[in-house]
Chain A
Amino acid sequence: MSGRSVVLLAIQRALQEEPNSLPKETHTGYDRKPQPDLTGTDDILRRFSERLTMVGGETHVLSGDEAVNCILRELIVEFKDQIVLLPADPELERLGIPRLMNEVAVNRIQPESSSLSLAAEAAMGITTAQAGIADTGTIVLIHSSERGRLSALLAPVHVALLKKEMIFPDKITFLAKAQQAGLDYSATSQTWVTGPSLTADIEKVLVRGAHGPRRVIVLIYSTDQG
């Protein structure tokens, strides 16, 4: 008999022996009242920033592509002559970030087409984030061939670009509206990232920057395209 049938049979036997241990009273007092939809509003944006800052992340709120370029230039200049990871993400292309990087003379690398050991030397990684969750200051990274995992992971500094209208108040709203917003939730692997990587494994002393980034900078922008 295969492991599958053995396990299933054991479960079914156990359930027959003790079919229903549910309490009769099923009202737990837990209800989620429908919340007004505040997705993308300034209130939600403030909450997102506040929560992300609390866990050691940084945010900048920007209006228009030009502002994104400006602040990125400032950030990238610090990494002149160093390796910066940039995936082949069309949105990054649209914002003109590859060109900007050439101007600033950082060593731009696409982790998708370079060696792992070289990518691991990077000082910074720039990616887009597909959504934000305000309640926890979380960014949602949905992985695809154009948006690999490594650009947000290998370098000590991760800069994530997040569209303002994609910040949802909480996890539940995100799930309810992800599909509608064009994010295919269940078909792609994804990572929810909240602030820099951290550990408290030695005497519960909080150390930010464990195996992942030490700094997470989220640039929240509204696009010129409306």
Chain B
Amino acid sequence: METTTQTLKANIRSALNNDRLQAAVLKATNHSLAKRAEVVAELPNWEAMRSEAALRRDRTLTRLDDTLLELEKNATAKGIQVHWVADGEEANQIIGQICREAVSGSETTSTKGEVVKPLIAKSKSMTTEEIGLTPFLESLGFEVVETDLGEYIVQIAGQAPSHITAPALHLSRQDVGRIFVEKLGVEYREDPVELINIARGILRQKFLSAQVGITGCNFAVAETGTPLIVENEGNGRLVSAIPRVQIAVMGIEKVVATLDDLMLLLELLPRSATGQRITGSVIFFNRPSSSRESDGPRELHLVILDNGRTKALADPKLRAVLRCIRCGACLNACPIYRTTGGHAYGWTYPGPIGAVLAPVFLGLEKAKDLPFASTLCGRCSEICPVKIDLHHMLLHLRQEIVAACPQPILEKVMWQTWETVMDHPALNQALAAIPRFLLHEVLRSHWSPKLPLWGRDRSSPNLAKESFAQMFKREFGEHK
């Protein structure tokens, strides 16, 4: 998606003027929170599970190089082709190359002689959104279809996902109905079941003719060399069953050391994301299909991506953000996200997690406003299944941004003055007398009702004759 983190204020203003958007976001996030609360309440040791998961994620991060090498060794031994890439550009190049090779030699004209673009089916992956894979592959002449129903809706609408796990959360059924009329040329309808049937019919044909399947990777287990995804719709199953070439794309932090670690995270992820005990399917890509198997990918590629993640790894205050399992619960809980929706953030990952990741991935300058789009209320940290201290990270990033990025002169002068005054008690007390005088002599006088706006509807408080400092001095003497 086009990054518009620098126009944050304008983005927010436009979201605040959109009642339909706000209603849709609030309804959906409330729904997710309620469902989550139900299944979390079933587990009396939920808090201990969170702590344990945080600890295990941290352990893996402290030996991330060894864990990834173990993953590579075990995956390669089973015939999975592993590719390491430093950034999105490199990832796109390699994936583009694999796709080109996969379709080379296959028929590219239809019976009517028209050129048919080779088809790539994707299941949901935020990592591929992050690197702009779809537009890149389209520029190479591929047709790329998002097969997750929510993702398909935003793709045909020409939008980006507005939530990590529910891409079309910002759209009402009426919105989806109108998008289908405009983009698919079907009759208007707004029943979700009918709308989904239409999309399913179209996408079924796409699955059957896809030559390459691209999936994300929720986790990759080092001890067995197994990438895997969790999903509900069955699209991930189809994308990894029909095309004979499959590419799974993962960030370096998606590796988990053991199956036991995975089982713990599989308790936390679906509950936090969608309020389910487990997703409709968990698909383990243990190896490419053998020549005797009639389905599944003959060629299985695993792309391991850095793209800024090592910058978080090197920062003691931010490393824990790499624990993230992309459940999206912090979005649902965040009062800002719940008001503006995801697009206002202007980047792939919205919400509190996005406001931490953006300055790390994109650089402080490019995302300097995002950490300020938070009330620091801490609901994100409280709900996070792997206990990422998101709101303190946001505070830390604010400090970094203020130190690194030029601030408005007036603001700088104001804060410096404040600092000087607070450092000098005498000056502080002397200056404090001014507002006291104003309050007594102006606001509470007959002038008050004549003051525009402020004075008309308000009465000002009746202050004590003495200030606290004066009382303290009278009672206890001079402060030592």
Query: Footprint of B on A, CB under 8 Å?
Result: 2-4, 6-8, 10-15, 17-23, 26, 28-30, 51, 55, 111-113, 116-117, 120, 135-136, 138, 143-145, 148-150, 153, 171-172, 175, 185-205, 207, 210-213
Contacts and interface: CB of A to CB of B under 8 A. Distances in A.
B32 interface: yes
B27 A204 contact: yes
B26 to A, nearest CB: 11
What are the 10 A-B residue pairs with the smallest beta carbon separation, nearest first?
A212-B234, A201-B150, A14-B314, A197-B234, A30-B52, A210-B233, A28-B51, A145-B292, A186-B224, A14-B313
Interface string B136-152: 00000000000111100
B224 A185 contact: yes
A196 B85 contact: no
Nearest to A151: B295
A185 to B, nearest CB: 7
Contacts of B171: 202
B294 A148 contact: yes
B259 interface: yes
B84 interface: yes
A189 B196 contact: no
A11 B287 CA distance: 26
16 contacts: A10-B86, A14-B311, A22-B58, A22-B62, A55-B280, A149-B296, A150-B241, A150-B242, A175-B259, A175-B263, A189-B286, A191-B282, A201-B196, A202-B149, A202-B153, A210-B235
A21 B284 contact: no
A211 B235 contact: yes
Contacts of B278: 136, 138, 192, 194
Contact of A197 (B242, B280, B285, B287): B280
A136 B84 CA distance: 35
Contacts of A205: 173, 192-193
Interface in B421-472: none
B234 A207 contact: no
B63 to A, nearest CB: 8
A153 B193 CA distance: 20
Contacts of A186: 224-226, 286
Nearest to B241: A149
Contacts of A197: 232-234, 280-281
A13 B306 CA distance: 13
Given A143-B293, A207-B192, A3 B203 contact: no
Interface string B288-322: 01101111100000001010001101111001100
Interface in B215-232: 224-226, 232
A116 B173 CA distance: 33
A2 B307 CA distance: 15
Contacts of A148: 293-296
Contact of A153 (B68, B226, B238, B263): B238
B412 interface: no
Interface of B: 24, 27-28, 31-32, 45, 47-49, 51-52, 54-55, 58-59, 61-65, 68-69, 78, 83-86, 90, 94, 147-150, 153, 166-169, 171-173, 176, 192-193, 195-196, 200, 203-204, 207-208, 224-226, 232-235, 237-238, 240-242, 252, 259-260, 263, 266, 274, 276-287, 289-290, 292-296, 304, 306, 310-311, 313-316, 319-320
A33 B314 CA distance: 37
Contact of A18 (B238, B290, B314): B314
Contact of B208 (A19, A28, A111, A116): A116
Name which of A55, A150, A191, A193 has the most chain B CB atoms within 10 A of its CB. Answer: A191
A189 B284 contact: yes
Contacts of A23: 55, 58
Contacts of A29: 45, 47-48, 51-52
Given A17-B314, A186-B224, A28 B280 contact: no
A145 B169 CA distance: 40
B290 A145 contact: yes
Given A186-B224, A201-B150, 10 more contacts: A11-B306, A13-B314, A15-B65, A113-B294, A148-B296, A171-B263, A190-B286, A191-B281, A191-B282, A198-B232
Contacts of B86: 3, 6-7, 10
B315 A22 contact: no
A4 B73 CA distance: 13
A199 B310 CA distance: 35
A4 B278 CA distance: 34
Given A135-B277, A171-B263, A212-B280, A201 B168 contact: yes
A112 to B, nearest CB: 4
Contacts of A17: 314
B72 to A, nearest CB: 8
Contacts of B27: 203-204
Contacts of B28: 203-204
Contacts of A7: 84-86, 252, 304, 306, 310
A212 B237 contact: yes
B263 A22 contact: no
A197 B285 CA distance: 19
Nearest to A210: B233
B218 to A, nearest CB: 13
Contacts of A198: 232-233, 280
Given A7-B85, A28-B52, A186-B226, A15 B200 contact: no
A201 B284 contact: no
B83 A202 contact: no
A192 B236 CA distance: 12
B24 A203 contact: yes
Contact of A11 (B68, B192, B224, B295): B68
A171 B62 contact: no
A211 B49 contact: no
B196 A111 contact: no
B84 A2 contact: yes
A141 to B, nearest CB: 9
Given A111-B295, A210-B200, A196 B193 contact: no
B165 to A, nearest CB: 10
A194 B192 contact: no
Contacts of B292: 145
Contacts of B58: 21-23
